[in-house]
Structure 1
Amino acid sequence: MITEKVCQSCGMPLAATEHFGTNTNGTSSTDYCCFCFQHGSFTHDMSMEETIKNSISYMNGSEKIDGRTLTKNEAALKMHIQLPILKRWHSHETTHKEYFAATNRAVDYINEHLHLPINLSDLASIANISGFHFHRIFKALMNESPGEYIQRLRLEKAIFKLQTTQETLTDIAEQTGYQSPHALSKAFKKRFGISPSTFRDQPSELKLSIDDPQVTPVEPQIKEILPKEIICLQVRNSFQEKNAFTHAWKELIQFMNVNGVPDIEHEYVNLSRDISTITKPEQCRRYVGITKQSGIKPKGKFGKQTLEGGLYAVFTHKGAYKDLETLYCSIYRNWIPNSKYRLRDVTFFEKYLNTPDVVSTDELITEIYIPVAPV
């Protein structure tokens, strides 16, 4: 908690009266500084995220911890922790967390029921928000309307199945929430300009063979696992922002009150609900998660998801995370078509057995869990 007298908008110390803002009647405001609050009004109408972005753009090297100058990413993370406890942002942050929690409930329902008819009024009820406000809030947080989001996920799931399975169009339509193959074909052609069958015949990154001699084939272990609940946080801008995963892990670890190192009680996972060669990078649903212990409940932007039980092909990777993409390509292009298994219709995930805070990059160990079933 902040104990010294500071501006309740930007956190600047209020060391002298000339630093105080002014109320409507001209008296000094002891809550806000002169830069944030003048004549009873805030000098800018930005969100907390915009305020942080604006503040770090003016960084000149004066922000220090233990004599070391903070990077802009470190300063932004510090402000994300500090600002929500200030008067101006506290109520905003509480409301924002409620909106995130409501949207998370709706998104989780969509993810688990994509094969069924999804009524928008039912989603609003699940989110516990009126239909009008649910539509507006969902679009503000997800950058898509609920209908657009559902349609995109269904078509992207259809693409993945067309590229990686020999299932009939009837089966794919049933699994993606379309009432008939004709309905799927109509929506597919409207979106992509070609029929599903024509698309299936085209080469794709998930079907081409890897001939790179540096790619060493990896044989997985086939394991049966039990369902596991995780507390998770969606990683925003994971492809655009270099430190997006680092920031997400720090937030989640702080929320879970754990030490940041995998142990017997806590497994650290990365859950991906999209394939980067199919979904636009800015729309990929990627989550960091830690297995849930009793007493910890999801809150605000922290959600809860279930890692499905069943059979998995488990591939072990030793080395840098940046090399995982090559392994994934090898799995989908080479191992699955030549194995005695087919993909199950549940989410794949990664489990981290150690952390870059403790071991070198070359010593990192990651397990990739691909859901499979015997052919």
Structure 2
Amino acid sequence: MPRRKLRKIDQASAGGPVQSTDRTTNGLAMKPCTRSAYESRLLRVLVHIQRNLDRAMSLDELADVAAFSRFHFARIFRAMTGETVGEHVRRLKLERAAGKLRHTRQTVTEIALDAGFDTPEAFSRTFKAQFGDPPSRFRVLRGSFRPPRSPSGVHYDQDGVLRGFTPYQGADPMTLDVSTREFPTYPFAFLRHVGRYNDIGPVFRRVAAIADERRLFGPDTKVMMVAYDDPSVTDEQRLRSDAGVSLTDPTVDTGELIKGEIAGGLYAVTVYKGPYDGLRNCYDWLMGSWLPNSGYEAADRPCVDVYLNKVEDTRPEDLLTEIRVPIRRP
């Protein structure tokens, strides 16, 4: 397999918009210098990880290295590198372990512990899955070895030196129209869901039943989900989200529904057409392709999904979801 060329980077009413600002198509030609700045900031994180591989690094620490939003850093990292932070760190440690097997006299157990594994058996299984041979056989083989696939082209370097990386283009590149809009803060009635985002359906049905009983639906009512956690770093059984409806009258009795607010501010807005399980790819495209070219930064507020048609009488391929990603001007 030919080596990919690395890009060299210089290190130096309810829910209605108040104002529509600049309009972009695909968002890929707006400010070319911005992508370079995003990539340079992410490169700082990749170097920081290489040089601190043996200690725990929090997502907040890495976000601060890049000066990215702590709330959205994990999603930006995955979208631009093709790996979660955890996947990236594990792969680098395995590559380092491969070098130790070939060039040092450390035992397999010592190397396994250095790589963060509790037992040599667990290390052996994972190593074989990546390199094709168990550690003991790999150690006696001659010649160079091919490291595991890296979506970003970044591999372990014992000196922590990186010239650049290949920004991940995504397994399923998208073409979407994105606008930036200013929304007000407005009241919201909801129920909390904890678990997989795709399992929130029963909660929405309960919300709809209560909202219908309380006569909360009106011509401007929005059915919405607010997501608080990134599935790439939070266990799916612990993902938090709110399923609810916008309110035109904040004083109305909402029964079992909890009253809250959807934070106002500037958002990047696009409409995705298709089944809900494709929303993750859409978010990856927004964070990894649109945002770095947009001239904006991700803001420390949760993303919001607005459902524009009913799942009960709409084919999955015709479902429309308005995605709102909070942004701010630098």
What is the TM-score of this pair, normalised by structure 2?
A: 0.49
Give the structure with higher Rg (CA): 1
What is the TM-score of this pair, normalised by structure 1?
A: 0.43
